[in-house]
Amino acid sequence: MLLPFFIRKHKTYKWVEDGGEVMFAYVMRRLLMLIPVLLGMTLITFSIVHLIPGNPAQVILGETASAQAIADLEENMGLNEPYFVQYSIYLIDLLQGDLGTSLRSKSAISSEIWPYIAATFELTVFAMLFAIIIGVNAGIISAWKQNTWFDYLAMLIALIGVSMPVFWLALMEQWVFAQELGWLPAYGRQESRDPIAAITHLYVLDSLIHLDFDRTVTILKHLVLPSIALGTIPMAIIARMTRSSMLEVMKSDYIRTVRAKGSGQLLVIYKHALKNAMIPVLTVIGLQTGVLLGGAILTETIFSWPGIGRYVYEAISYRDYPVIQSGILVIAFIFVMINLIVDILYKKIDPRIKY
Partner 1 sequence: MNLKRLFLFTLLLAFLLVLTACSGDGGANTDTNADDDEADLTEEAEASDEDAEAATAGNQVLVFARGGDSESLDPGSTTDGESSRVTKQVLEGLLEFDKDSFELIPGLAHDWEVSEDGLTYTFHLDEGVTFHDGTDFNAEAVKVNFERWSDPEHAYAFAEDGYVYSMYGTMFGGYKGDEGHVIEAINVIDNYQIEFVLNQPLGFFLQNLGMSYFGITSPAALEEYGSEINENPVGTGPFKFVSWSKNDSIIVDRFEDYRKEGLPKLDRVIFEVIPDNAARLIALRAGEIDIMDGLNPDDAAGIEAEAGLALLTRAENNFGYVGFNAQKEPVDSKEVRQAISYAIDNQAIADALYAGYATSAKNPLPPGYLGYNDEVKGYAYDPEKAKEILAEAGYENGLEIELMMSPTARPYMPDPETVAQIVQNNLADIGIDVTITSHEWAPYLEQTLKGEHQMFLLGWSGTNGDPDYFLSSLLHGSNVGSSNRTFYHNEEVDALLDHAKRAVDQAERAELYMQAQELISEDAPMVTLVHSTPVMAISENVLNYVPHPSTSESLEEVELTE
Residue numbers 120-149 binding partner 1 by CB under 8 A? none
Q: Does 83 bind partner 1 (CB under 8 A)?
A: no
Binding mask 18-47 for partner 1 (x = CB under 8 A): --x--xx--x--------------------
Of 93 and 248, which has the nearer Cβ to partner 1?
93
Smallest distance from the beta carbon of 312 to partner 1, in angstroms? 11
Q: Does 160 bind partner 1 (CB under 8 A)?
A: no
Of 221 and 259, which has the nearer Cβ to partner 1?
221
Backbone conformation region of residue 121, classed left if phi is above 0, alpha if psi is from -120 to 50, else beta? alpha
Smallest distance from the beta carbon of 144 to partner 1, in angstroms? 31
Q: Does 230 bind partner 1 (CB under 8 A)?
A: no
Tell me which of 77, 138, 154, 285 binds partner 1, using CB under 8 A.
77
Smallest distance from the beta carbon of 169 to partner 1, in angstroms? 13
Smallest distance from the beta carbon of 332 to partner 1, in angstroms? 13
Tell me which of 259, 314, 342, 355 binds partner 1, using CB under 8 A.
314
The alpha-helical segments, DSSP class H, found in the chain are 2-12, 20-51, 56-61, 67-76, 83-95, 109-144, 149-162, 166-173, 203-209, 213-250, 253-260, 265-267, 274-293, 297-302, 308-317, 321-349
Q: What residues numbered 189-228 form the site for partner 1, per CB under 8 A?
A: 189, 192-199
Tell me which of 341, 350, 351, 353 binds partner 1, using CB under 8 A.
341
Tell me which of 178, 224, 255, 287 binds partner 1, using CB under 8 A.
178
63 φ, ψ (degrees, to nearest 5): -70, -15
**Amino acid present at 51:** L
Q: Does 17 bind partner 1 (CB under 8 A)?
A: yes
- Distance, in Å, from the CA atom of 145 to the CA atom of 139, rounded to the nearest integer, reads 10
Angle formed at CA 302 by CA 153 and CA 118, multiple of 5 degrees? 95
Smallest distance from the beta carbon of 133 to partner 1, in angstroms? 21
CA dihedral for 255, 259, 261, 266, sign (positive or negative): positive
Q: Does 97 bind partner 1 (CB under 8 A)?
A: yes
Rg (CA), the chain: 24
29 φ, ψ (degrees, to nearest 5): -60, -45
**Residues in the chain, total:** 355
Of 57 and 134, which has the nearer Cβ to partner 1?
57
Tell me which of 4, 11, 51, 64 binds partner 1, using CB under 8 A.
64
Smallest distance from the beta carbon of 10 to partner 1, in angstroms? 10
Tell me which of 28, 37, 69, 155 binds partner 1, using CB under 8 A.
69
* Through-space distance between the first and last CA atoms of the chain, rounded to whole angstroms: 25
- Distance, in Å, from the CA atom of 23 to the CA atom of 82, rounded to the nearest integer, reads 45
- Distance, in Å, from the CA atom of 252 to the CA atom of 274, rounded to the nearest integer, reads 12
Tell me which residue of 236, 235, 281, 233 sits closest to 131, measured CA to CA.
Answer: 235
Binding mask 273-312 for partner 1 (x = CB under 8 A): ----------------------------xxxx-x---xx-
Which CB contacts under 8 angstroms, 24+ apart, belong to 60-69?
A: 60/103, 60/104, 60/318
Smallest distance from the beta carbon of 232 to partner 1, in angstroms? 17
